[in-house]
């Protein structure tokens, strides 16, 4: 199958459009990726020889989006990069589609997750002391959702587990590092 948009034709595009072709390939990789993607992986998939150029190309792509008043931007999230809709578009997107609560977190679960995020690595006993309630089932729920993980064991009596957040936590909450927590 041979068409205008085939990879072979994009590889052999005229050199005066080479930068635009590279930007388009990077954009396509970001568009199709459902998870944040590393600079190295973007370079590999978009066939960009110099991985260090990718960060500059992402800035150019964002400048293009900004100039066009696009609803999209490339965001650095959870140690990678992802194409996302700008926050300003949220009211209009909500009108189109009622978003289900994908991760389904209740208030007690959110409180527990916040404690873990801020105090990590943290013991279950510390979480329970702060919340003044048992949190075994909540921790189990957060572990199942892959928002929390066991990051080690304490030297305290019985060597209880220490809990911390995961890359999925960063991804879900649009953070690159936990230091970005409000």
pLDDT value at position 4? Answer: 46
Give the C-alpha separation, 103 to 143, whole Å.
12
Residues 75, 115 within the same domain: no
pLDDT value at position 111? Answer: 92
Distance of alpha carbon 145 from the chain centroid = 15
Domain boundary among 29, 62, 94: 94
Is 40 within a domain?
A: yes
Residues 118, 141 within the same domain: yes
Residue 43 burial (CB count, 10 A): 19
Tell me the pLDDT tens digit for each residue of 18-55.
Answer: 788 888 899 999 998 888 999 989 988 888 876 558 88
Is 102 within a domain?
A: no
Residues 134, 175 within the same domain: yes
pLDDT value at position 94? Answer: 66
User: Which residues constitute the domain of residue 147?
Assistant: 107-180
Residues 24, 87 within the same domain: yes
Structure tokens at 76: 């650095």
Within a 13 Å sphere around the CA of 143, how many CA atoms are in the beta-carbon half? 13
10 Å CB burial of residue 151 (0-12, 13-18, 19+) is middle
pLDDT value at position 51? Answer: 54
Residues 55, 122 within the same domain: no
Secondary structure class of 80 (helix, strand, coil): strand
Low-confidence ranges of the chain (pLDDT < 50): 1-6, 8-10, 12-16, 98-100
pLDDT value at position 16? Answer: 47
Domain boundary among 67, 94, 121: 94
Secondary structure class of 73 (helix, strand, coil): strand
Secondary structure class of 38 (helix, strand, coil): coil
pLDDT value at position 99? Answer: 46
User: Do residues 171 and 35 touch, judged by C-beta distance below 8 A?
Assistant: yes
pLDDT value at position 103? Answer: 65
Residues 112, 169 within the same domain: yes
Q: Give me the CATH number covering residue 132.
A: 1.10.10.10
Is 86 within a domain?
A: yes
Residues 118, 71 within the same domain: no
pLDDT value at position 135? Answer: 92
Residues 122, 69 within the same domain: no
* Residue bearing tokens 């150019």: 60
Q: What is the pTM of this model?
A: 0.56
Number of domains the chain contains: 2
Residues 15, 73 within the same domain: yes
Is 55 within a domain?
A: yes
Residues 54, 120 within the same domain: no
pLDDT value at position 148? Answer: 96
């Amino acid at each position: 199958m041979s068409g205008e948009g085939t990879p072979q034709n994009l590889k052999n595009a005229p050199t005066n459009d080479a930068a635009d072709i590279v930007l388009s390939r990077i954009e396509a990789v970001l568009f199709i990726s459902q998870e944040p993607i590393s600079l190295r992986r973007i370079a590999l998939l978009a066939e960009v020889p110099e991985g260090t150029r990718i960060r500059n190309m992402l800035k150019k792509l964002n400048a293009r989006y900004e100039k066009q008043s696009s609803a999209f931007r490339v965001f650095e999230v959870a140690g990678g990069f992802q194409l996302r809709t700008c926050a300003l578009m949220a009211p209009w997107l909500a009108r189109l589609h009622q978003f289900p609560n994908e991760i389904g977190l209740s208030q007690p679960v959110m409180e527990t997750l916040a404690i873990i995020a801020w105090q990590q690595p943290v013991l279950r006993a510390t979480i329970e002391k702060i919340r003044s309630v048992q949190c075994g089932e909540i921790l189990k729920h957060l572990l199942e959702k892959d928002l929390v993980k066991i990051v080690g064991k304490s030297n305290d009596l019985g060597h209880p587990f220490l809990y911390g957040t995961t890359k999925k936590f960063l991804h879900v909450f649009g953070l690159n590092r936990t230091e970005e927590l409000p």
